[in-house]
Amino acid sequence: MLKTTDLGELPLAQAPSIDSSAYRKATWRLIPFLAVCFVFAYLDRVNISFAKLQMQSDLGFSDAAYGLGAGIFFIGYFLFEIPSNVILERVGARRWIARIMISWGLASAMMMFVRDEFWFYTLRFMIGATEAGFMPGVMLYFTYWFPAKKRAQINALFLTSVPLSGVVGGPIAGFVMTVFDGVGHMPGWQWLFVLEGIPTMLLGVAVLFYLPDRPATTKWLTTAEKHAIEGNLAHESRASHREHHFGRALRQPETLFLATVYLFTLIGLWGLTFWLPELIKQTGVTHKVTIGFLTAVPYAAGGIAMVMVGRSSDRTGERKRHMGIALLVGSAGYGLSATFGGDTTMAMCALSLAAIGTIGCLPVFWTFPPKVLAGPAAAGGIALINSVGNLGGAISPYLVGKVKELTGSTEMALYTIGGSMMIAALLVLFALPWKLSARDKIETPKLPAGVVQQ
């Protein structure tokens, strides 16, 4: 005779299906919505790369001034990231993510009023400061729901919003800047900022009504499913040796190592993100809509790679080689894009290879922090890693712009960015701390708490 639990009289024979049902619901309820939110985060963060095609000539900005303005976003991001994640841990994801989105959408829309370099730098700083905490906050949020063995694939599904924003963002930007140019006596780049800022604010309001803080507060999970998710996470926490203390987490070697790797990695990502339209333009393509559609190609390749690498890494539990090899591929792509920068077809192939490696490694990278961080330490440590890494966004755009201004070419800057990713690859493959290098266990789901065998 089957014994049952006190969680809805669940028969033992049905117990293994509870995990599957719980995680399927959590995935479909949370990931698509948060991915859409992050698409708008990326659009509001990088629409400056498309606005540049008109804005720079309208306002008379140099390439170095554009690069500084694109990168100064990350200074605000760096300064406010750790406080933001600590507040999210205390007040809950729903309210804090809503605040983040509403405020950064407003700051992004205000970019339409830029008339000189001072306000260009000021508003870019404000966008970074107001958006700080969204991405690491979501990564922290996932640790409330999904165990380590599922996290690379979950991260991959969420982070497909990065390439998706590039796939849809380019054509949308090209369309807006062409069709709306001159409407209401406003140039297309002003319309781009306002039309991409307003939806972000509306999504922020939707977060207040849609996003649950933790499994226990959901209405769409059964009691047994809630206990299954929380029981699995509790079991994982007891079996691990993770740092819980906030201050020690910020100083421990593994946290600092990951921050360093992420810095070199994101020098590659943001070099691609902020200069891709310009790199395509340099190959001889001039029509804005065509440039917009061509920017979608590397992002689409990166999105496919992201899902495939995440699934492969979760299937095997292996993280180090998946991450390191992806970084090597990205490094090679940057080197080839510098070599073949004058040929549209070859440049697009090389830039796609750079995107495959640069974007494809991200879901695997974010499986590392939860191996050594939990609780308040995870809030601070993940934010520190992300904020230091995103300083690459302050370095890379300015580097490319300055080199282009001095030499008339982006070739040396692209070689430098490729070298940065090579350093990240070597660190992961040959210097990864032992606490991070172990495979994640791949095992069958645990029975929900309260289920007993005959």
Instruction: Quickly tell me which residue has 């289920």 as its tokens.
Output: 451
Please give the Cα distance from 398 to 395 (Å, whole number): 6
Residue 117 identity: E
Task: Determine the pLDDT at residue 137.
Answer: 86
pLDDT of 331 strictly over 80: yes
pLDDT of 241 strictly over 80: no
CA 326 to mean position of chain CA atoms: 16
Protein fold of 21-437: Growth Hormone; Chain: A; (1.20.1250)
Q: Which range, 63-67, 276-280, 321-325, has the best average confidence (pLDDT)? A: 321-325
Question: What mean pLDDT comes out for the span 10-22?
Answer: 64
Task: Determine the pLDDT at residue 155.
Answer: 82
Of 3-17, 200-214, 242-256, 391-405, minimum mean pLDDT range: 3-17
pLDDT of 449 strictly over 50: no
- How far is the CA of 92 from the CAs of 35, 85, 138, 141, 220, in angstroms? 19, 10, 11, 9, 19
Structure tokens at 51: 């606005």
pLDDT digits (tens, 9 = 90+) for 192-226: 889 888 999 999 999 999 999 899 889 999 999 99
- How far is the CA of 379 from the CAs of 86, 93, 196, 319, in angstroms? 6, 12, 29, 22
Q: How confident is the prediction for the chain on average, in pLDDT?
A: 83
Of 39-53, 87-101, 207-221, 289-303, minimum mean pLDDT range: 39-53
Please give the Cα distance from 106 to 87 (Å, whole number): 21
Contact (CB, 8 A) for 319 and 364: yes
Question: What mean pLDDT comes out for the span 76-87?
Answer: 85
Task: Determine the pLDDT at residue 444.
Answer: 45
pLDDT of 12 strictly over 90: no
Task: Determine the pLDDT at residue 78.
Answer: 85
Is the whole model's pTM more than 0.85, yes or no? no
Contact (CB, 8 A) for 205 and 342: no
Structure tokens at 30: 């949370």
pLDDT of 322 strictly over 80: yes
Q: What is the largest CA-CA distance in the chain?
A: 80
Among candidates 324, 310, 338, which has minimal Cα distance to 440? 310
Structure tokens at 81: 């990231």
Task: Determine the pLDDT at residue 448.
Answer: 43
Q: How many residues does the chain have?
A: 454
pLDDT digits (tens, 9 = 90+) for 344-359: 999 999 999 999 999 9
At residue 10 the predicted structure's pLDDT band, cuts being 50, 70 and 90, is very low
pLDDT digits (tens, 9 = 90+) for 117-126: 899 899 999 9
At residue 191 the predicted structure's pLDDT band, cuts being 50, 70 and 90, is very high
Higher pLDDT, 335 or 400: 335
Task: Determine the pLDDT at residue 447.
Answer: 42
